[in-house]
Structure 1
Amino acid sequence: MYSISKNFKLLKRYLTLYTKNKLEFKFESFSTVFGVLITIFNNFIFWIALKNVGVKFQNWDYNKILLLIGFNFLFISINSIFFGFRDLEYKIISGEFDMFMVRGQNPFKLVLLERMNFLYIFLNLIFFIVCIVISQNSFKFEIINVLLAVLVSIFASLNFSLLYGMFSLLAFYFGKIFYVRELFFSIKDSKNYPMDIFPKVIYNLFVYTIPITLISTVPTKIAFGENRAGKYILISIAGFILLCTIFKLFSKKALKHYVSTGN
């Protein structure tokens, strides 16, 4: 209970600092809002362009695609929490990581909080909710299916972010890993499309290894009542527990390789 209270106070402190910063530098807030709007615009332009050239995905109408887009924005929102991992190697190489080595605090938690864009997270989450509401007007979802779909997508997004974080920890051993990591994790872009258009082998590969399929395709089908959620919830939660355990062990070993530039 004390740990939860301590983490909440820490989060509140960073949120307060973030709010003050955004109020002082208003153009940054505008840039964040503009960036989200551009992402939304690009998504719709892409699908409208596909429609105009006659491209269709089997068993995927535009209500499903809208919800698929929504789950992708939920992923962006969750993945943005872990944005600090992207710059981890630069903090290690420059020695800036020293300032996160605070007694009684997990340095990786501080790295994430320092880079967290709360407004960006919130805006993407809002658009996800908007997509659900619009889809609901055309197709009356069963609320339990939507809740289960959201649960699968949340854990799949967390699992992907943890894998990204673990790969980032290799910077403690090899230094510059940015380009290799970004090349490897560029496969995340496939979540923007219905993954069941791929052969069954690839579809299952991205269920049981890197959970791309579970981020948007499977949750959309669960929400529409086409897939049972039970198996996918078990896979997602089991994967989350396993990855959290591995990350905790790996992060402790990685920290031992850090050479401080200070004391």
Structure 2
Amino acid sequence: MTGNVRAPAPPGINLALYWHLMRLRARTRLQYRASLVLAWISQGFGYAGTFASIWVILNRFGGLGGWSWPEMAFLLGFHTFAYAIGAVFTFTQFRGMDAMVREGEFDMLLVRPVNPWSFIVFSGVDLQYGSHFVLGAGLMITGAAALPLAWDAGLMLRFLASLLSAALLTGAMFTIIGAFAFVLGRSRYVFGLYFDLWELSRYPIGIYTAPLQIILFTVLPFAYMSFVPVSVMIGKPVPLLGGAAPVLALAAGPILALLAALFWRACLRRHQDIGG
């Protein structure tokens, strides 16, 4: 597809198009409100059961890796809420990338005057994360109410920036997994591996061995999804990072988003070269 030259559309037209695609997707999904609500309820019960088991463990043993229940509640709530923000725009969309590539649907996007990544993201906005937002907000409020946090303008700004960084991290990782479809032909199986490891990010990183901690801070940066930003906000020490933790809590998401964009473009160029 390298021989096809597309004239870029004016930014205003693209923004209007993406907004229209989001509205269209939302209206389509809301046509089946009962199905959507049932999905929220089923997911909500699944997550609530997991969080309840963690609460039982913490109350039985008095803590987990030096974290009390209010601290864990804030950690779990932040993790769930930030993940949902990123997943709304990327999970369903990139989970189906291998089918789009294999069936030639993605190649159709390459001859349109739109950015393929943006079109995929905004045309597939997923509303199934309602229970994630409710549970995440509820846990954060519950935890914050029992913690000595001074919610001044500085802390609120850090909280919002940390949420955005963690959401970008989620979106970036799903983008990277989706890009594998360009070179491997299949990428869906990688999502299973991703979620097996993603479970580790729900807990304080300090409970893991040193080699696994290093991996979660570097190769698989799950530590920045909740542990690092929450630790900084509530004043708990961060192993390995030390004084760099406050900066990395905000910078991890944008950095990985940039790396994901470069990886996406590199894989896309290879796909175009193979396709001719």
CA shift digits 1:200-251 (9 cap, x unpaired): 4432432233221121222222222224897234335544444344333333
**Number of the residue aligned with 2:268:** 255
- 1:125 matches 2:125: no
CA shift digits 1:167-191 (9 cap, x unpaired): 3212112212322453255211101
Note the C-alpha offset of 1:17.
Answer: 1.3
The structure 2 residue matched to 1:113, chosen from 122, 135, 154, is 122
Contact 1:74 1:128 in 2 (8 A): yes
Distance (Å, rounded) in 2 between the aligned partners of 1:142 and 1:227: 18
Alignment of 1:7-156 (within 5 A): 7-51=14-58, 54=61, 56-80=63-87, 81-83=89-91, 84-101=93-110, 103-117=112-126, 119-121=127-129, 123-143=131-151, 144-145=154-155, 147-156=157-166
Percent identity of paired positions between Structure 1 and Structure 2: 19
What RMSD over aligned residues (CA atoms) do the two structures have, in Å?
3.2
Distance (Å, rounded) in 2 between the aligned partners of 1:82 and 1:136: 29
List gaps (5 residues or longer) in structure 1.
none
What amino acid maps onto 2:260 in structure 1?
Answer: F
What amino acid maps onto 2:125 in structure 1?
Answer: M
Note the C-alpha offset of 1:97.
Answer: 1.7
Contact 1:76 1:121 in 2 (8 A): no
CA shift digits 1:32-54 (9 cap, x unpaired): 32234223322333224424764
Contact 1:196 1:203 in 2 (8 A): yes
Contact 2:90 2:175 in 1 (8 A): yes
Distance (Å, rounded) in 1 between the aligned partners of 2:270 and 2:145: 54
Alignment of 1:196-235 (within 5 A): 196-227=206-237, 231-235=244-248
Determine helix, strand or coil for the equivalent of 2:224: coil
Distance (Å, rounded) in 2 between the aligned partners of 1:225 and 1:211: 21
* Pair 233,257 (structure 1): closer, same or farther in 2 beyond 3 Å: same
Distance (Å, rounded) in 2 between the aligned partners of 1:7 and 1:141: 42
Distance (Å, rounded) in 1 between the aligned partners of 2:78 and 2:171: 15
Determine helix, strand or coil for the equivalent of 1:213: helix
Distance (Å, rounded) in 1 between the aligned partners of 2:58 and 2:247: 36
Distance (Å, rounded) in 2 between the aligned partners of 1:100 and 1:72: 33
Count of matched residue positions in the alignment of Structure 1 and Structure 2: 259
Contact 2:74 2:144 in 1 (8 A): no
List gaps (5 residues or longer) in structure 2.
1-9
Distance (Å, rounded) in 2 between the aligned partners of 1:146 and 1:94: 46
What amino acid maps onto 1:90 in structure 2?
Answer: A
The structure 2 residue matched to 1:167, chosen from 177, 185, 202, is 177
Calculate the TM-score normalised by the size of structure 1: 0.81
* Pair 201,254 (structure 1): closer, same or farther in 2 beyond 3 Å: closer
